[in-house]
Copies of this chain bind each other. A is one copy, B any other.
């Protein structure tokens, strides 16, 4: 179980993750792709990274738009693991 980050730690980390916003205990980003198959291919890459990290975002697919929501349920807030997977998802987009 990872330590819950403070508000200032979260702000600092968000500053290096453009496109991600915080909503309470979650961080959220929506990605847009040229086609539906490209959106699904991104979901597949994120899913593989999520399984490797044993940390699974909520994933909403709306045609060519994919929204990821991250939180650390077991810790009860946002932790390093959320920001690590957010950065990984950005690299896979």
Chain B positions within 8 Å of A56 at CB level: 36, 63
Q: Which of B43, B47, B62 contacts A37 (CB 8 A)?
A: B47
A58 within 8 A of B: yes
The answer to whether the Cβ of A28 comes within 8 Å of any Cβ in the partner chain is no
The residue that A62 contacts in the complex, of B40, B44, B50, B58, with Cβ under 8 A, is B58
Question: Chain copies in the assembly?
Answer: 2
Q: Is A60 at the interface (CB under 8 A from chain B)?
A: yes
Interface pair B58/A37, CB less than 8 Å apart = no
Q: In the complex the two chains form, what is the Cα distance from A51 to B44 in whole Å?
A: 16
Give A contacts to B, CB under 8 Å. 36-37, 40, 43-44, 47, 50-51, 56, 58-63
